[in-house]
């Protein structure tokens, strides 16, 4: 089974500091695994923000 970039990054963190394993946000995970780019996430966030603004939720 192939390890993901996230799994490898967490292993490196655990080797360097076994008491510090900061969880990744979902956005960080999809960028780290190459699912989405940071620009795509920013665009999605802007679309959601505008939708919420139009609906009067923010």
Who's near 34: CB < 8 A, 6+ residues apart?
Answer: 5
pLDDT of residue 1: 45
pLDDT of residue 46: 93
C-beta of residue 16 within 8 angstroms of C-beta of residue 25? no
pLDDT of residue 32: 82
The H-or-E segment that residue 37 falls in is: none
Q: What is the pLDDT along the chain (58 residues), one digit of tens a residue?
A: 455 666 777 776 666 665 665 677 887 888 888 888 888 888 988 999 999 999 888 7
If one counts every other C-beta atom within 10 angstroms of the C-beta of residue 47, the result is: 10
Which residue, chain included where needed, has tokens 């490898």? 8
pTM of the model as a whole: 0.48
């Amino acid at each position: 089974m192939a390890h993901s970039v996230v799994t490898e990054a967490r292993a490196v963190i655990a080797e360097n500091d076994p008491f510090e394993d900061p969880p990744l946000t979902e956005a960080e995970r999809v960028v780290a695994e190459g699912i989405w780019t940071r620009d795509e996430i920013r665009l999605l966030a802007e679309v959601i923000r505008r939708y919420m603004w139009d609906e009067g939720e923010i």
